[in-house]
Amino acid sequence: MNRIIYQTTDGVAVIAPSDKVTIEFCIKDVPTGAKYKIVDTSDVPSDRAFRDAWEVTPDATWSTK
């Protein structure tokens, strides 16, 4: 299963899809104008001790909603 990550003013948001829809369907849940990327679940840290300190730097591989 994949995740969608996008950059927010406070850090990083991670979209976890339902198994009833595709990851592509969940792109609708990305805020308009936000840069996002579909990643493997394993690429998202499971240690949430410093969850609010997560940061990402979008590059050319990211898409814009």
Partner 1 sequence: MANHDYVIANQNGANTRADLNNAFSAIVSNNSSASEPATKYAYMFWADTTADLLKQRNAANSAWIDILTLSTGAPATSGATEGTAIVSTGETGGTKYLREDGDGTSSWQSVVSDPAVGGDLSGTASNAQIVANAVGNAEMADDAIGVAELSATGTASSSTYLRGDNAWASVPAAGADTSLSNLSATGENKVCQAWVNFNGTGSVAIRDSYNVSSITDNGVGLYTMNFTNAMSNNDYALTGTTMVTNDSSWYNQPTVGYRQTTEPLATTSAKVNITEGNGGGYRDPTHVMLQVFGD
Interface contacts to partner 1, rule CB under 8 A: 1, 3-4, 8, 10-11, 13-21, 25-26, 28-29, 41, 44, 46-48, 51-52
Min CB(35)–partner 1 separation in Å: 15
Maximum alpha-carbon separation in the chain: 31
Tallying the residues shown for the chain, one arrives at: 65
Nearer to partner 1, 47 or 60 (CB): 47
The answer to whether the beta carbons of residues 63 and 30 sit under 8 Å apart is no
Nearer to partner 1, 19 or 60 (CB): 19
